[in-house]
Amino acid sequence: MTGAKKKQSVGGGLGETYRQLAPFMGLGTELAASVAGMVLVGYFLDKWLHTSPWLLLTGAAVGMVGGFYNFIKEIQKLSRLGTKNRK
């Protein structure tokens, strides 16, 4: 059966789609975790040093900048890998 298409089982296409999307699925969680982590660090430092709300706001800003930096860097890397795989 050379040249004949293989018959796909039900859900076979869905599994392949999830395999292709898997690298992108964790990006939102990673972004949220970096922001939440830095906000928590800022909150507890504020409580300890009695500087409320400055370290919390600084932590939120650092978390957002760092999270978006990693998000964009990862998207670019995945885009390059996707371009290589299509050729």
- Please check whether residue 15 is in contact with residue 69, taking contact to mean a CB–CB distance below 8 angstroms: no
Global pTM reads 0.70
pLDDT digits (tens, 9 = 90+) for 41-85: 999 999 999 999 999 999 999 999 999 999 999 999 888 877 776
In the chain the first and final C-alpha atoms are separated, in Å, by: 26
pLDDT of amino acid 10? 54
Q: What is the per-residue DSSP string for 7-28? A: PPPTTHHHHHHHHHHHHHHTHH
pLDDT of amino acid 14? 85
pLDDT digits (tens, 9 = 90+) for 2-41: 555 555 555 568 888 888 888 788 898 899 999 999 999 9
> What contacts 35, CB < 8 A, 6 or more positions away?
60, 63, 64, 67
pLDDT of amino acid 18? 84
The CA-CA-CA angle for residues 24, 81, 74, to 5°, reads: 45
| Domain extents in the chain | 26-86
pLDDT of amino acid 40? 97
pLDDT of amino acid 87? 61
Which residue's structure tokens are 């975790």?
33
| Closest to 55 in 3D by CA, of 39, 33, 69 | 39
